[in-house]
Structure 1
């Protein structure tokens, strides 16, 4: 028998404030048509004043626990993927731990920007396979609206706030690709590409939060190449191919990147979960948000084979193959 980390529950949360593309037309030189044509984004959500990343994450965590039929007392660990933690320290994961009433176990943050949830899933899988935890709550939560330069039309229209979460539980399988749970992971990073996507502030540099900066054309080129590559690598590790995939659940950054990656993987768009039009790029929250929405839509069903893949600042990128 083989130990697997199986998804038992999923949930998400979006702030109440919806920001349509038209809201930017009065602030910068852009239009709804320009944004939709280049990104596929139609609207996004922004957190309210005083609403923090851990607030969003706690809402999503409760929804995932409810979906799993569990309580916080059933958890051994919380891993939060975020680049927009509430404070420099302690970790926002410990704040989510407190807000959901979890009195035992441990919690920590993972920072890999838009690839954060993939990195967090891989870490949770390792904890379960090593026997250090039996049930792990994995959360992706962001308030990117707090680090946007609203004078920069190339970036401020792209991002939104939100949170998603999954509950993973240890279960035994047969050791084949027919098992439910995480079947393979692939993680990568290359620090030589830092200037392509970064925030121009930090504790040990400017002492400020800073603003997001991006070379969009270069990020696009790297994204399409690296996302298809990492997905194929993870599928190879699992002994599977693109033909076996029921759903790609990609990082929701840009519809053109999503479409180009699916094309390289030879997977039709009908088998890709797309939510970018409603949420924009929510960084580490985008994959768990898409998983939750995909399940709610009736797209993702038990037994389906999923590939999640993401790329973010660093550059950092990776993928997870799992059977729902």
Structure 2
């Protein structure tokens, strides 16, 4: 059976950086309150860009940095919960934007919230294993700023906009193990109604008294996230017959620094093993793992054979992990 390997990463974040101090001007909060509870200092907000725009720019970043031949991409998967359209899919629009309409490319979107990129990579890996796909482009992209209640400091301080992309191809080594899971959220602890609000962020008074914004039970999600990370690590170590010492970096969904710190303490895993960049981007949902992985690759301190564990967890409830060799 064929294996697949991540051969390219890319990301895109909008130009507008909104700091915690900026948020002080529109809601009852402050930098110390936000940073101490989340580890976030700023987030990027899309002003005039669509989810497709972010997806396209992250894909181009991965393609150009790694000299990828576009004609070899046979599969495009976009993970998003904030698409521009329900029909057509963002993946199909991306195919057209990349100039691949005359190519035989399978395109579709998936919705698994913050676990989206993990699900997407797992699906792409199976396509490649079947021999039907040479290269797969998987992108996580979100514009959460258009679905946030900017008067709710429990949610609006957490999220940002962005996109992260990975490209996989056939290889004799690469992905070593994967694990995904889901548990129907009967309590609806994280919800986003199927309504496109399309309201851009602006540092002015906003009408945020709608039932169509994202809502989250923070304490319940915190407990779930800590469990999901531990469960993902445990399953991957058993499936791969490895120990945590064999793993160079864990790249978790960038949700909250306190969640990662709790898992680090409970599982006695050094905090420095967890790669985090949420201080600068906030929680970008399906984009966060891809964006963090691209930053990790950019630091150029990885060597061939290093093992990296990606972990996602989010609404659904969904969670899962991918272990691969650099």
TM-score class normalised by the smaller sequence: over 0.9
Matched, 1:42 2:41: yes
C-alpha spacing 1:80/1:163, structure 2 compared with 1 (3 Å): same
Aligned with 1:80 (options 55, 78, 81)? 78
SS in 2 for 1:191: coil
Aligned with 1:190 (options 183, 188, 202)? 183
Matched, 1:92 2:85: no
- Superposition pairs for residues 63-74 of structure 1, below 5 Å? 63-74=61-72
Distance 1:45 1:155 in 2: 15
Aligned to 2:199: none
Shift of 1:71: 2.8
Shift of 1:194: 5.0
Q: Judge conservation of contact 1:124–1:136 (CA < 8 Å) in 2.
A: yes
Shift of 1:201: 4.3
Distance 1:209 1:55 in 2: 27
Aligned to 1:159: 159
Aligned to 2:312: 310
Give the gaps of 5 or more residues in structure 2.
197-209
Aligned to 1:170: 170
Distance 1:20 1:193 in 2: 35
Distance 2:65 2:266 in 1: 34
Q: Judge conservation of contact 2:80–2:113 (CA < 8 Å) in 1.
A: yes
Q: Judge conservation of contact 1:235–1:321 (CA < 8 Å) in 2.
A: no
> How far does the alpha carbon of each residue in 1:201-236 deviate from its partner, in whole angstroms, 9 at most, with x for none?
449xxxx99211000011101110121111220221
Shift of 1:68: 2.7
Aligned with 1:59 (options 57, 60, 75)? 57
Q: Let me know the Cα RMSD of the aligned residues.
A: 1.6
Distance 2:211 2:294 in 1: 30
- Superposition pairs for residues 177-256 of structure 1, below 5 Å? 180-202=173-195, 210-256=212-258
SS in 2 for 1:22: helix
Q: Judge conservation of contact 2:2–2:130 (CA < 8 Å) in 1.
A: no
C-alpha spacing 1:84/1:301, structure 2 compared with 1 (3 Å): farther
Shift of 1:266: 3.1
Distance 1:264 1:279 in 2: 26
- Superposition pairs for residues 108-187 of structure 1, below 5 Å? 108-172=108-172, 180-187=173-180
The runs of at least 4 aligned residues of structure 1 exceeding 6 Å deviation read none
**Higher mean Cα deviation, 208-217 or 103-112?**
208-217
> How far does the alpha carbon of each residue in 1:150-204 deviate from its partner, in whole angstroms, 9 at most, with x for none?
01110000000001111100112xxxxxxx311111111111345111114449x
Aligned to 1:6: 5
Distance 1:305 1:193 in 2: 36
Q: Judge conservation of contact 2:247–2:307 (CA < 8 Å) in 1.
A: yes
Q: Judge conservation of contact 1:148–1:211 (CA < 8 Å) in 2.
A: yes
Q: Judge conservation of contact 2:72–2:134 (CA < 8 Å) in 1.
A: no
Shift of 1:300: 3.8
Report how many residues are paired: 311
**Higher mean Cα deviation, 234-243 or 8-17?**
234-243
Q: Judge conservation of contact 1:262–1:269 (CA < 8 Å) in 2.
A: yes
> How far does the alpha carbon of each residue in 1:219-258 deviate from its partner, in whole angstroms, 9 at most, with x for none?
1011101211112202211221212110000000000112
Distance 1:212 1:299 in 2: 38
SS in 1 for 2:323: strand
